[in-house]
Amino acid sequence: MDWYEDRAEFSEKETSLFLQRMPLDRLPAETAVKVKSLEINEDFRLLCRNLSLIIDRVPPLQKSI
């Protein structure tokens, strides 16, 4: 099944807040609305934790010469 729906896009600043594990109730209102629109607000803490684990495991990009 090839089903994809673009429902929300998060900026680098918003992603940074997730990586800092900012609680949902302390996010900027616009960001909180996006999270709630995805119906993941109950699992938001897990999303932040998992995202930080993934980001920590990805090696930094190296410039090609």
User: Residue 56 — very low, low, confident or very high, per pLDDT cuts 50/70/90?
Assistant: confident
Give per-residue pLDDT as tens, 9-33: 999 999 999 999 999 999 999 999 9
**Cα–Cα distance, 21 to 1 (Å, whole number):** 33
Domain residue ranges in the chain: 12-57
- Token pair belonging to 36: 């709630």
pLDDT higher than 90, residue 41: no
58: which DSSP letter?
S
Who wins on pLDDT, 63 or 28?
Answer: 28
- What is the predicted pLDDT for the residue at 64? 56
Q: Identity (one letter) of the amino acid at 3?
A: W
**Cα–Cα distance, 65 to 51 (Å, whole number):** 30
